[in-house]
Amino acid sequence: MSARTLPLLFLNLGGEMLYILDQRLRAQSIPGEKARKDEWTDVDRKRVMNDIITTMFNKKFMEELFKPQELYSKKALRTLYDRLAHASIMRLNQASMDKLYDLMTMAFKYQVLLCPRPKDILLVTFNHLDAIKDFIHDAPGILNQVDETLRQLIETYGCLSAGEFQRIRQTLLIFFQDMHIRVSIFLKDKVQNSNGRFVLPISGPVPWGTEVPGLIRMFNHNGDEVKRTEFTTDANYVTPQREGSFDLYGDRVLKLGTNMYSVSRPVETHMSGSSKNLASHAKENVVPNPFAKEELNFLARLLGGLEIKKPGGSDTGFRLNLFTTDEEEEHAALTRPEELSYKVINIEATQEPGRRAELSRILGELEVAEPRPASTEKGEDLLALMDGL
């Protein structure tokens, strides 16, 4: 396991989350001059994106995140993104949040599988951050936060060996290995089977610095080439024209990690049969982790400053639904395996020494925008308009 994996996992999943939220918010935005008080506007969308990105790229949090450490559990990370998604005026029900997380994880898993070489995971991360910068191009302060994270990425990962990047890739694949959620985009493009497993291509560009398969060279003990043998392959390999840029600004060349939601099309997620069976037997097949509760309690403390008070009475935050209708969302919540549902974690205010206590202190001081009052009709109107992913 690599102790340098967590920042890459956090940033790439966060980038996918922002892609999805931006696409759904844009689909529901009404021009400001035409919008009623209870309707989403582009101003609301920008506020949501800015608030989430500001929280996600807090400088002190990033500095602590980049220190070598093991990955957190799936449930702990899911809790983290739940808090991030609610760091503004937007509200997601549990079923929609589950669906959002499914889309995030499966998209990044596919990108990791397709990386021509392990080091290209860094280019995927750069693509996510470049796209995030486009979301906040008119907010210089937030833009500087993202640029600072890019500099930390270059400083931390620019000098790592190919072997260390292979360990990072292997750590990510272990994290994703039991996740087989079917996504309609992948199913329609025939890059995912009906059981939720991905279909990897056997053609295309070879990794940078390697040659197209088809030639075997033999050398003597002095290192001189003495014989060549050619062979044919069933695949169509090509040599990449150039290597992607690992600089602060530049052409990444690799397209993995760019926004696949920029072209609007429906995206549905479904649990595969194997995943359902895995979930139903999770309690009996998994050895209990004595540190799991403490890890979740730590993350609750870590993100305690991001807790948003629910408005009372008839006021509520702006509601976003990732399903087509209210009924579909309610059905998803009822049918989702209990082991894959995530509830609010109670915070245990125990004292914890060392770096983790420092992380808790830092994020506890973060300020999160207060929910903007809105009528309940706004959420209902939004649901009626939703085209659902």
CB atoms within 10 A of CB 64: 18
Domain assignment present for 290: no
Tens of pLDDT, residues 174-202: 999 989 999 888 999 899 999 999 999 88
Looking at residue 181, the DSSP 8-state letter turns out to be: E
Domain assignment present for 231: no
CA dist 242 and 1 (Å) reads 31
Q: How far is CA 31 from CA 19, 66, 261, 377, in A?
A: 21, 40, 21, 18
CB under 8 Å, gap of 24 or more: what pairs does 193-198 form?
194/272, 195/272, 195/273, 195/274, 196/270, 196/271, 196/272, 196/274, 196/275, 197/272, 198/109, 198/110, 198/113
pLDDT at 37 over 50: yes
pLDDT at 22 over 50: yes
Q: Determine the 3-state secondary structure of 63 from DSSP.
A: helix
Q: Determine the 3-state secondary structure of 183 from DSSP.
A: strand
| pLDDT classification of 235: cutoffs 50, 70, 90 | confident
Q: How far is CA 88 from CA 33, 91, 208, in A?
A: 23, 8, 41
Q: Determine the 3-state secondary structure of 227 from DSSP.
A: strand
What's the half-sphere exposure (Cβ side, CA atoms, 13 Å) at 9?
29
Which residues, listed in sequence order, are joined to residue 205 by a DSSP beta bridge?
238
pLDDT value for 9? 96
Domain assignment present for 121: yes
Specify the number of domains making up the chain.
Answer: 1
pLDDT value for 25? 86
Alpha helix segments (H runs only) across the chain:
6-28, 42-56, 59-65, 74-85, 94-114, 120-135, 140-157, 162-176, 184-188, 273-280, 282-285, 292-302, 326-335, 355-364, 376-385
Domain assignment present for 232: no
Domain assignment present for 235: no
% pLDDT > 70, the chain: 64
Tens of pLDDT, residues 133-145: 999 999 999 999 9
CA dist 32 and 41 (Å) reads 6
Domain assignment present for 324: yes
CA proximity to 61, closest of 40, 38, 87? 87
Tens of pLDDT, residues 283-299: 333 344 444 444 444 44
Higher pLDDT, 301 or 271: 271
Q: How far is CA 9 from CA 104, 108, 168, in A?
A: 11, 9, 10
In this structure, what token pair is assigned to residue 316? 């509520």
pLDDT value for 160? 94
pLDDT value for 49? 93
Q: How far is CA 245 from CA 14, 143, 146, 162, 169, in A?
A: 22, 20, 17, 16, 19
Domain assignment present for 335: yes
Tens of pLDDT, residues 66-113: 999 998 888 888 888 988 888 888 888 888 898 999 999 999 999 999
Tens of pLDDT, residues 153-179: 999 999 999 999 999 999 999 999 989
Query: What amino acid occupies position 349?
Result: A
Domain assignment present for 289: no
CA quadruple 14, 17, 18, 22: dihedral, nearest 10: 180
The label of the residue with tokens 């997620």 reads: 269
| pLDDT classification of 373: cutoffs 50, 70, 90 | very low
Parent domain of 123: 5-202+245-263+295-346
Q: Are 236 and 202 in contact (CB under 8 A)?
A: no
